[in-house]
Structure 1
Amino acid sequence: MITLKNDYLTVKINPLGAELTSVMDNESHLEYMWQADQAFWGRHAPILFPIVGRLQDNQYRVDDQSYTMTQHGFARDREFTIIDQTATQVSLELSADDQTRALYPYNFILTLSYELVDHQLKTHATVTNPDETPLYFSFGAHPGFNVPFGGAPADFTDYQVTVSPKQTYQRVPLVGPYSDTQHSVPLDLNQPLLLDHALFDHDAQVLTLNGRETTVMLSTPKDDHGIALTVAAPYLGIWSPYPKQAPFVCLEPWWGLADDVQATGDLTSKVAIHHLAAKQSFAASYQVTYF
């Protein structure tokens, strides 16, 4: 396990999946991250690559050849290599090998970097195409946060998600696990979104951000602690498993979507897919402030 520490926070990252597993306040020992209780959801903050969400029938095609890949891709279950580390920063890398090519017929280099700066953890991802042919992929993050935060005199329904800028966002509905991008619906977030387990009875709330810098804060009026995630991504998912009464919420920056309900199965035409030309790189980042 990798440990990063400064005067305010101690962070733990597992090289398996480059997964953030703990963010703890040094003074109060408050744990912000979901601790992967298998009764609800056995992960903390998986990295989503080379797809976000689910494929129709877990299948897709490239050049008329079919491949099988399960929800959110394989990076979350692969061992990353540490390529650089200091007391407050670490970079990890995953590259293609025979096992990944059996699932995904592309060469790639995926680099994840975490950096602690005061009360903030910055996450930066780079996807590089080392080949002479185009690379098609999606990328996302899936961090889960305790609700309530450790020791808070509050329960799930005392928490709220505040989105800035305050406005009405377009929400992508999910039909089962699939995106229905043709029937986006407005979601008024001029006021905070009050948490309730039934909010997730049709899976995640998926906001269209259009790449505009957005801050999403998870907090409760009953406690001074919270988190604020800032990102400029195409989409952001808000999720907690339903009908389980799970004591956590995920705030998920996405550079991709689950297959559309009208998906053809061709990866090159998949909804929200990224196309990376030969020898080019793609960058994504977000930061979370813990208070």
Structure 2
Amino acid sequence: MYSIEEFDRQGMHFFRLKGEGAFVEVCPERGGMITAIHIADEDLLYMNEETLFNLDKNVRGGIPVLFPIAGQLRGKQYEWEGQVYQMANHGLVRTRPLEVAGQSCGTDHAEITLVFHSTPETRVSYPFDFEMQLTYRLAGGKVTILQKATNRSVDSMPI
């Protein structure tokens, strides 16, 4: 049977998807990143906990969520429709909390869905209305990550 546990560590809230001796840990407060994967008696991810729990630092390790860009922009800026915007490395999500939108578990899986919506603050860097949804699923000794971005703007939205 699969299950989902919630726990707090050093002031942050985590979800652990468990089943068949495997687990995946997700931290919605740290951009919805996966902070641990343990399958077949092996830890599969590096995680520097000092950077995980220090909100002033970039997290080293884990699986961060990169949206709407991966990598660095020259001068941390880009031009869109004649206007220049500033954006941090790897985009908007990895430094912001995500909402838990749903959970399910049963005899063959455990999954959690997180969402991130545009706000007035995000539109300063990325002038689009959007919803980004992540679903993390543990089933059969495998982790699946589904990412869906929905453009709620009238114009095209680059990702």
Q: After TM superposition, is the score higher than 0.5?
A: yes
CA offset at residue 93 of structure 1? Answer: 0.4
Identity of aligned residues (%): 25
Tell me the distance in 1 between the aligned counterparts of 2:136 and 2:113: 7
Partner of 2:18: 5
Q: Which consecutive residues of structure 2, in runs of 5 or more, have no partner in the other structure? A: 1-13, 52-58
Partner of 2:54: none
CA offset at residue 38 of structure 1? Answer: 5.1
Contact 1:35-1:43 at 8 Å conserved across structures: yes
Q: Which consecutive residues of structure 1, in runs of 5 or more, have no partner in the other structure? A: 138-291
Partner of 1:114: 136
CA offset at residue 132 of structure 1? Answer: 1.6
Contact 2:133-2:149 at 8 Å conserved across structures: yes
Change (3 A) 1:8 1:118: farther
Give the counterpart letter for 2:151 in structure 1.
N
Structure whose CA Rg is larger: 1
CA deviation string 1:60-81 (max 9, x = no partner): 1122221111211121111111
Partner of 2:90: 72
Give the counterpart letter for 2:37 in structure 1.
V
Q: Which of 50, 67, 72 matches 1:54?
A: 72
Partner of 2:33: 19
Contact 2:66-2:94 at 8 Å conserved across structures: yes
Q: Which aligned segments of 4 or more residues in structure 1 are displaced greater than 3 angstroms?
A: none
Partner of 2:149: 127
Partner of 2:44: 32
Quote the RMSD (CA, aligned, Å): 1.7
Contact 2:128-2:152 at 8 Å conserved across structures: no
CA offset at residue 42 of structure 1? Answer: 2.4
CA deviation string 1:123-155 (max 9, x = no partner): 101011112211111xxxxxxxxxxxxxxxxxx
Partner of 1:229: none
Q: Which of 95, 100, 115 matches 2:117?
A: 95
Tell me the distance in 2 between the aligned counterparts of 1:54 and 1:76: 14
CA offset at residue 20 of structure 1? Answer: 0.4
Contact 2:45-2:61 at 8 Å conserved across structures: no
CA offset at residue 43 of structure 1? Answer: 3.6
**Structure 1 counterpart SS, 2:43:** coil
| Number of residues of Structure 1 aligned to a counterpart in Structure 2 | 134
Tell me the distance in 2 between the aligned counterparts of 1:35 and 1:53: 19
- Aligned ranges 1:182-261 → 2 under 5 Å: none
Contact 1:8-1:118 at 8 Å conserved across structures: no
Tell me the distance in 1 between the aligned counterparts of 2:113 and 2:89: 25
